[in-house]
Amino acid sequence: MNQLEGRSSTADLLEQAINGKRRAQGQLLTLIERGGFAADEVTELLHHYTQSRAHNSTLAGARCHAAVVGFTGAPGCGKSTLVGCLVAKITQEAGVGRSPAVLAVDPSSPLTGGAILGDRIRMEENVPAARSDGTDRTANAAVGGGAFIRSMATRGHAGGLALAVPAALRLFEACGYGPLIVETAGVGQVEVDVTRTADTTVVIVAPGMGDAVQANKSGLLEVADVLVVNKSDRPGAEDARRDLEHMLDLGHMTGLTGQWRPKVIMTTATEGTGADQVINAVQAHREHLEHAGQLEARREARIHQEVRDRVSQCLETAAEYHLGTKPDPLAAALKERITPAAAAAAISQHLLASDMPA
Amino acid sequence: MLSPMYLAATSNKPLSDSSHQPASHQESASHQASVQSQNQPPIRVVLAKLGLDGHDRGLKVVARMLRDASMEVIYLGLRQTTESVIAAVEQEDADVIGLSMHNAGHLALAPRILQALRDAGLDVPVVIGGIVPESDIATLTEMGISAVLHPGSSAVEVAEAVRGSLGEQPVGK
Ligand SMILES: Nc1nc2c(ncn2[C@@H]2O[C@H](COP(=O)(O)OP(=O)(O)O)[C@@H](O)[C@H]2O)c(=O)[nH]1
Ligand SMILES: [Mg+2]
């Protein structure tokens, strides 16, 4: 087990996590969420672990990646309820023994930084009991079975979320979970970006409220691989479906793959109706990606985005720090001796010319 | 200027190495923290009601109080069992457990959750809310419950009970 040499408490935690200790998995997610040194240490150790596991594997080179499925849509459209149904179905699938992991992102209050994270309760609600050994409705698959649910607040700091999500997914994968599910409210750009980089992105709309049109305007439909009209028990569901099909006809949705036309699926998550079709559509999309050789492209897009996010964060931090030292061009701009643009150009030039480690 | 900052943002050095970093590195790290205005990660509280009875109005009020005190509340709601609470605490890595019990079951339920926590190797403080007779409070704190809150507790009292269970001083002291 030399992949975990140079032991620290983080390495111990990682070993426990990989051996299935949920407590340790939860603690590592906290480190990842906090960002900074501790988070980077986790990702680095994880990387060494997965590298050496792939190396030792008899199927060297054939490293299997867990499927990453993103669920997004306006707050209240039923994402968590639907994810709860899907998780229960996947967990109950006879003999397959798959353990999904869910990362459920909810917004922090911009005023206090606090948050009420209500995805977990929705996921555990309305799920048919997995076992018949109790009357208590929480004795369902999502709790008692192999699934792992982690709620994450945006913490008013979009850049942090963009870095934490891929790191958390890698931890889940190393611990043997799959498929990996990410729920985000389709509001902020970062949240949309987070789901965009999934292998398959499911966009959910609810009838009424002009959800379908809104989803189109906000760019959500462009990233959809599967479309769901949830709350199909409500009036207007059929209209929403027609709206979506129209927008598909008009080619408003291009997607990464071009030739893929998203299916529109009607669901009533509170009753579990349509959940099977969603699972089938996600599966069909994944097969399409495989046949089209696009799975690798998606994986690369994900890494590309992560590197870009990290570069942006580094540059931003460097800029903040440098500006804090009140450099001459800033002082000149403050006195209106040069334009802000000229000051920015001089400062950027200085930053980029500095001896950055390669 | 750029280099130490760059390192601070990208270094993969384990935490334990940070004591060996040059002073400028330390400075930039603390500066980075203030840039992110995230000196202290929020306290995470799992909030649940044990047992089969009741409504969740009070629990929702408490959830809002804790959110407004800058905490992250993982809201489990009604009809939770010790198992479902423990599972949530592990997966969510909660710092504190807030439990409401309204059907006078506290003397039976409190030892059960405390035992379940010990069995799971979890050292997470438990704060109880509900109608608890004055005479039972000492019994509960002796068995290891961190604090007992009455239904009429103010937002400040609720937040301070949670912070206090972690050994933190009241805000502003
Ligand atoms: N009528 C109806 N209500 C639903 C359905 N799915 C979810 N809901 C309700 O919509 C509300 C929001 O659901 P939630 O899953 O939390 O939405 P999210 O914010 O998108 O995650 C809850 O009260 C659900 O019970 C559905 O198919 N039909
Ligand atoms: Mg939700």
Q: What is the pLDDT of residues A125-139, one digit of tens each?
A: 755 443 333 333 333
pLDDT at A187: 67
All structural domains of chain B, each given as residue ranges with its CATH number in brackets, are 4-10+18-38 (no CATH), 42-165 (3.40.50.280)
Helical ranges in chain A per DSSP H? 9-18, 22-34, 36-56, 79-92, 119-124, 141-144, 158-174, 189-196, 211-217, 237-249, 275-291, 295-324, 328-334, 340-353
pLDDT at A246: 87
Q: What is the pLDDT of residues A38-66, one digit of tens each?
A: 999 999 999 998 888 777 665 544 455 78
pTM (whole model) above 0.90: no
Structure-token pair, residue B122: 């979890």
- A236 and A336 assigned to the same domain: no
Find the mean pLDDT for residues A77-105.
88
A336 touches B at CB < 8 Å:
no
Q: Which residue has the higher pLDDT, A348 or A354?
A: A348
Name the domain count of chain A.
Answer: 2
Q: Determine the residue type at B53.
A: D
- Any domain includes A13: no
- Any domain includes A44: no
Helical ranges in A97-234 per DSSP H? 119-124, 141-144, 158-174, 189-196, 211-217
Indicate if the pLDDT at residue B27 is higher than 80. no
CA angle A198/A158/B34 to nearest 5° reads: 145
- A250 and A343 assigned to the same domain: no
Closest CA to A225 of A69, A42, A17: A69
- Any domain includes A28: no
- Any domain includes A11: no
| Chain A residues near residue B87 by CB distance under 8 angstroms | 22, 143-144
State whether A321 and B31 contact (CB < 8 Å). Answer: yes
CA of A77 from ligand 1 middle (Å) equals 6
Indicate if the pLDDT at residue B37 is higher than 80. no
- Any domain includes A300: no
Give the ipTM.
0.84
CATH code, A111: 3.40.50.300
A210 touches B at CB < 8 Å:
no
- Choose the residue to mutate in A80, A81, A126, A214 for probing ligand 1, maximizing ligand atoms within 8 Å of C-beta: A81
- A193 and A314 assigned to the same domain: no
- Any domain includes A230: yes
| Chain A residues near residue B49 by CB distance under 8 angstroms | none
Q: What is the pLDDT of residues A238-268, one digit of tens each?
A: 999 999 998 888 775 555 445 788 999 999 9
- Any domain includes A42: no
State whether A143 and B28 contact (CB < 8 Å). Answer: no
Mapped onto helix, strand or coil, the DSSP state of residue A265 is strand
Mapped onto helix, strand or coil, the DSSP state of residue A57 is coil
Q: Which residue has the higher pLDDT, B7 or A106?
A: A106
- A288 and A327 assigned to the same domain: no
Within 180-209 of A, beta carbons closer than 8 Å to B belong to none
- Any domain includes A60: no
| Chain A residues near residue B63 by CB distance under 8 angstroms | 116
Could you give the strand order of the β-sheet that contains A226-229, starting from the edge strand earlier in sequence? A148-153, A101-106, A180-185, A68-73, A200-205, A226-229, A263-266
- A269 and A329 assigned to the same domain: no
- A227 and A268 assigned to the same domain: yes
- A229 and A86 assigned to the same domain: yes
Within 37-76 of A, beta carbons closer than 8 Å to B belong to 37-38, 40-41, 43-44
Domain-ending residue, one of A246, A262, A293: A293
Strand partners, A180: A68, A101
- Which residue range(s) make up the domain with A325? 306-353
